[in-house]
Amino acid sequence: MKTSLTLFLIFYFSLKIIAQNDIEISKDITYAEVGGKKLKLDIYKPKAQKEPFLIVWVHGGAWNTGSKENPPLGLLPFGYALASVDFHASTEKPFPADVHDIKAAIRFLRANAGKFGYKADKIIIWGSSSGGHLAALVATTNNNTALEGNLGDFTKTSSLVQGCIDFYGPTNFLTILNQSTPHGLNVRLPALAILLGKPLDQVTELAKLASPVYQIDASDPPLFIVHGEQDIQVPINQSIELMSAYKSKGLKVQIEFIPEAGHSSPSYAKKELMEKIDKFLKETGF
């Protein structure tokens, strides 16, 4: 519920920044099909911007709920397009099906950049909560064959991303339980068991594969992290671990702690935060 409220607030305040009639929207585009299920995405593109950089949005929802609807559009006024992606819920298929889906979506989007009118060479991935986890994992597993999958019609196209924005996502499944509040444990234990197919303590190696902090190497893209200081759902130490792991490899990373913000807050949609993200992206080649 809190993640859904966060997304609504981000979407609502985004629309106050950019008028809907300034956006070209392409809805329900099928990027792959699995077992008769069509996987779809939506593209939001500022009409005034010719060939913008593309952001791929990964929704949250404890890996088992949520949808591509109502993504955050707060970066569109800065000249970015955004593709919001649906993928298998963990209740349908456990990890790594969600990562395979997202990488297939990136391949599709890169292969069809000319058709939809954005740049293909550099792509950013952005997510919040469980979507932040998936975004960071996709970003830190460029060229990882175990997580690439073979979905869609563009398996020879690159799924690499060149930038990542992580809003309060879990990053280390081997430490998160010890860091969690009782509320966090009540939410997380069943969600992780569904995501990984078994209780966490029975699948340690799979949990490591699913944890961005264990996947980082010197080739990973620049990373911007945002976390609320009063988040009782995802421990703030998860973002600190990811930042520290990035710094240990000499990689470009910036973290913004949001005072008094929990897992849901209008602060995540403020123009000032979008300006900081845009500045970071521009400094790293976008």
CATH, residue 177:
3.40.50.1820
The order of strands in the sheet holding 23-34 is 23-34, 37-46, 80-85, 53-58, 123-128, 163-167, 223-228, 253-258
Q: What is the DSSP letter of 163?
A: E
Q: What is the DSSP letter of 197?
A: S
Question: What pLDDT is attached to residue 10?
Answer: 54
Q: Is the pLDDT of residue 13 over 60?
A: no
pLDDT band at 34 (very low <50, low <70, confident <90, very high): very high
For residue 192, which of 95, 284, 260, 273 has the smallest C-alpha distance?
A: 95
Average pLDDT, the chain: 93
C-alpha dist (Å) from residue 61 to 48, 66, 205: 32, 5, 24
Q: Is the pLDDT of residue 59 over 60?
A: yes
Q: How far apart are CA 206 and CA 147, in angstroms?
A: 11
Q: Is the pLDDT of residue 52 over 60?
A: yes
C-alpha dist (Å) from residue 99 to 89, 92, 280: 11, 13, 25
Question: What pLDDT is attached to residue 1?
Answer: 42
Question: What pLDDT is attached to residue 21?
Answer: 79
Could you report the per-residue pLDDT of 107-162, keeping only the tens digit for each? 999 999 999 999 999 999 999 999 999 999 999 999 899 999 999 999 999 999 99
Query: Between these two residues, 5 and 166, which has the higher pLDDT value?
Result: 166
Q: Is the pLDDT of residue 186 over 50?
A: yes
Which residues touch 282 (CB under 8 Å, ≥6 apart)? none
Q: Is the pLDDT of residue 3 over 70?
A: no
Q: Is the pLDDT of residue 184 over 90?
A: no
Q: Is the pLDDT of residue 6 over 90?
A: no
Q: How far apart are CA 115 and CA 129, in angstroms?
A: 31
Query: What's the structural domain count of the chain?
Result: 1
How many other CB atoms are found less than 10 A from the CB of residue 12? 13
**Which residues span the domain enclosing 175?**
2-283
Could you report the per-residue pLDDT of 208-260, keeping only the tens digit for each? 999 999 999 999 999 999 999 999 999 999 999 999 999 999 999 999 999 99
Average pLDDT over residues 162-190: 94
Residue 125 CB-half CA count within 13 A = 30
